[in-house]
């Protein structure tokens, strides 16, 4: 009951699993949450509490927070890591899928914040870590809905930071670059499924290749790098408001600020192998 308590979402693999282990090594009581508890057996063996939680289901989220408070009496850290990438041309992506991505990447995170904040305010302390992406600052071809969710979470985090500062609560944004997780494969598969045929196919195919190709995989950073960054943020007396880490994050964000819109468009086309002319 005396140790600090952390909730990490999307903890069944990748960044979430690595973060749960990192915070556990710091002595936190950690609750690792995901829809599939069976994928978190190794975390349970490491002394981490595993929690079945669906960030698209309000009852599931309320039950999860209630369970943490019942068992540990507090929540000090919320790491909103659950999310996925759904790529495809704006014209092609069904609005049902677009809404689903916002439900997971934005509304699920915000709802957990709403549920955790009363407990943090009561203790007049806490840290909320929102995992966005370098994609919350830049744009890539055929990624409008994904980038839309990440831009939205960046803006919400900025407003939230000012709102909760008087209560001693920190809001931290972590902007990963290319990381060795399941994300790229899922995003590429969805891209080809939605736009791999038809008028946007000449863009979709090279874009998918750039996401999962051998060169990209070799350059990606390990998820433990993000976990280390989160660990640094939640233990800092005065954490930074933003941490851009992982392959390409800082250079890409710098280039976006340096170049005009059209110049950056051209840069991204060159980087992904997409022609700026119709097929």
CA–CA dist 12, 18 (Å, integer): 9
Residue 117, C-beta contacts closer than 8 angstroms, at least 6 positions apart: 126, 164, 169
Residue 219, CA distances (Å) to 104, 165, 210, 222, 243 in order: 27, 37, 12, 10, 19
DSSP one-letter code for 222: P
Strands, E, within the chain: which ranges? 5-8, 29-34, 49-52, 77-80, 126-131, 169-176, 242-245
DSSP one-letter code for 220: P
At 136 the three-state DSSP class reads helix
Candidates 28, 146, 200, 243; catalytic one? 146
Residue 152, C-beta contacts closer than 8 angstroms, at least 6 positions apart: 102, 106
Q: Is 146 a catalytic residue?
A: yes
The catalytic residues are 146
């Amino acid at each position: 009951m005396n140790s600090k308590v952390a909730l990490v979402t999307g903890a069944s693999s990748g960044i979430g699993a690595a973060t749960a282990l990192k915070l556990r090594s710091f002595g936190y009581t950690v609750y690792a949450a995901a829809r599939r508890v069976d994928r978190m057996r190794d975390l349970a063996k490491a002394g981490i509490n595993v929690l079945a939680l669906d960030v698209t289901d309000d009852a599931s989220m309320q039950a999860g927070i209630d369970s943490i408070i019942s068992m540990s009496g507090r929540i000090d850290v919320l790491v909103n890591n659950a999310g996925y990438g759904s790529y495809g041309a704006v014209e092609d992506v069904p609005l049902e899928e677009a809404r689903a991505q916002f439900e997971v990447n934005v509304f699920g995170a915000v709802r957990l914040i709403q549920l955790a904040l009363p407990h943090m305010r009561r203790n007049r302390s806490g840290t909320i870590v929102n995992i966005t992406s370098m994609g919350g600052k830049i744009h890539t071809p055929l990624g409008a809905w994904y980038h839309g969710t990440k831009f939205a979470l960046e803006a919400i985090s900025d407003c939230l930071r000012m709102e909760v500062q008087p209560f001693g609560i920190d809001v931290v944004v972590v902007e990963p670059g290319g990381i060795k997780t399941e994300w790229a494969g899922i995003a590429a598969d969805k891209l080809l499924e939605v736009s791999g045929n038809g008028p946007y196919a000449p863009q979709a195919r090279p874009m998918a290749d750039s996401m999962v190709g051998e060169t990209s995989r070799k350059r990606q950073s390990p998820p433990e790098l993000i976990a280390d960054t989160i660990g640094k943020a939640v233990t800092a007396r005065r954490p930074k408001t933003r941490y851009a880490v992982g392959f390409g994050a800082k250079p890409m964000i710098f280039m976006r600020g340096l170049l005009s819109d059209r110049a950056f468009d051209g840069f991204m086309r060159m980087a992904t192998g997409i022609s700026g002319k119709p097929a």
